[in-house]
Amino acid sequence: MGALYGLLGLGLSLSWGLLKLINLAHFGFAFLAECNGRGYATEAAAAVLHYGRTTLGLPRIVAITAPDNTASARVLEKIGLRSDRLLDLPGYPGGSRLFVPA
């Protein structure tokens, strides 16, 4: 059995306040520190984005990250998303960056 390098998921905004208000699908990821810089996050995120668009037919998929998380921002930019604006989400002091399709 292989090792677990991290987590990645695609979700519909059924319970998360702001995303529910703007009615968008979103995805997120987290990988172990020892996996950084190997391209796993970019490859996995691109695959999930493709699956959501083609197989599930989701017209618009967004992502949110901490404002200072430059590594995740780079991954999101590599797969065709761009930083749109800073959001004020409950429970996330300092805000969160919303990434939308470029």
Q: What is the pLDDT of residue 73?
A: 95
Q: Among 82, 70, 69, 6, which residue's Cα sits nearest to residue 38?
A: 6
Q: How many domains would you assign to the chain?
A: 1
Q: What is the pLDDT of residue 14?
A: 41
Domain for residue 53, yes or no?
yes
Domain for residue 21, yes or no?
yes
* Over residues 38-61, mean pLDDT: 86
Say whether pLDDT at 15 is over 60: no
pTM of the model: 0.79
* Over residues 33-39, mean pLDDT: 83
Cα dist. 55→6, 13, 24, 59 in Å?
23, 18, 16, 11
What CATH code is carried by the domain that includes residue 84? Answer: 3.40.630.30
Say whether pLDDT at 1 is over 80: no
Secondary structure element (H or E) that encloses residue 19, with its range: helix 17-22
Say whether pLDDT at 69 is over 80: yes
Yes or no: say if 49 and 61 are a contact pair by the CB < 8 Å rule.
yes
Domain for residue 50, yes or no?
yes
Domain for residue 1, yes or no?
no
Neighbours of 58 (CB within 10 A): 17
Question: At 57, is the pLDDT very low, low, confident or very high (cuts 50, 70, 90)?
Answer: confident
Domain that holds residue 95: 6-101
Angle between helices 40-54 and 70-78 (to 10 degrees): 50
Q: What is the pLDDT of residue 80?
A: 96
* Over residues 12-41, mean pLDDT: 67
